[in-house]
Amino acid sequence: MPTPPPIPYDHLPEVPALNVVSDDVRDGERKPEAHVYNDWGMTGQNLSPNLQWSGAPEGTRSYAVTCYDPDAPTGSGFWHWVLFDIPADVTELPTGAGTAPGFKGLPEGAVHARNDFNAKQYDGAAPPPGHPHRYLFAVHALGVEKLGVDSDTSPAVVGFTITANTLARGYIAPVYET
């Protein structure tokens, strides 16, 4: 699998780094089938991966978790997961927390916005054949308890609001290619 170019985060304001790790996915490594979409010709399990984070700065009042594919052939990328209003005392999401039905382990009060599949949940990788895609699982430490948007807000507007309130950010970027 060819190595994709570095992730262009130069368009976002620079903030301190959070440490983000996972029992399920690794930065720069192939995303396991468990976290791949189960439609559009894919046969994955569509499970959101475990994410753990540490190093949030003082003043962190909540978190947001996003999964974004900057390599999607859309001109604007593709949002796979948009979750916000995660309480400040939460520092881990278990495998499947973003997966419907059930959302096992999703913290009380956390809100899913719709993704680019038009679903309020995590939906996994589904790239067209022949090109590796990066999946940026980002955790954002926020300076607000509530983001002030609702679950029907577009992913781009939620992302804008997240960025405006971010105190620190970290990510893991596994890759996937069919």
pLDDT confidence bin for 3, thresholds 50/70/90: low
Structural domain of 66: 19-160
Structural domain contains residue 178: no
> Cis omega before residue 101 (within 30°)?
yes
pLDDT at 5 over 60: no
Structural domain contains residue 3: no
Dist. CA 3–CA 117, nearest whole Å: 26
DSSP secondary structure, 100-164, as one string: TTT-TTPPTT-EEPP-TTS-SS---B-PPTTS-EE-EEEEEEESSSS-S--TTS-HHHHHHHHHH
pLDDT at 129 over 80: yes
Q: So what's the pLDDT on residue 93?
A: 98
* Listed range (4-8, 14-18, 149-153) with the worst mean pLDDT: 4-8
Are 119 and 154 within 8 A, CB to CB? Answer: no
Structural domain contains residue 170: no
Structural domain contains residue 136: yes
Dist. CA 144–CA 37, nearest whole Å: 32
Q: So what's the pLDDT on residue 15?
A: 93
Q: What is residue 12's DSSP assignment?
A: S
Structural domain contains residue 120: yes
Question: pLDDT for 70-110, tens place per residue?
Answer: 999 898 899 999 999 999 999 999 999 999 988 999 999 99
Q: So what's the pLDDT on residue 13?
A: 83
Q: So what's the pLDDT on residue 12?
A: 79
pLDDT confidence bin for 10, thresholds 50/70/90: low
Query: pTM (2 decimals)?
Result: 0.93
Q: What is the CATH number of the domain that holds 149?
A: 3.90.280.10
pLDDT at 34 over 80: yes
Structural domain contains residue 27: yes
Structural domain contains residue 9: no
Q: So what's the pLDDT on residue 70?
A: 92
pLDDT at 9 over 70: no
Q: Within 13 Å of residue 130, how many CA atoms lie on the same side as its CB?
A: 1
Dist. CA 101–CA 97, nearest whole Å: 10
**Average pLDDT of the chain?**
92
Token pair recorded at residue 47? 């499970």
Structural domain contains residue 8: no
Mean pLDDT of 2-14: 62
Torsion angle of alpha carbons 23, 13, 160, 25, nearest 10°?
-10
Q: So what's the pLDDT on residue 40?
A: 82
Number of domains in the chain: 1
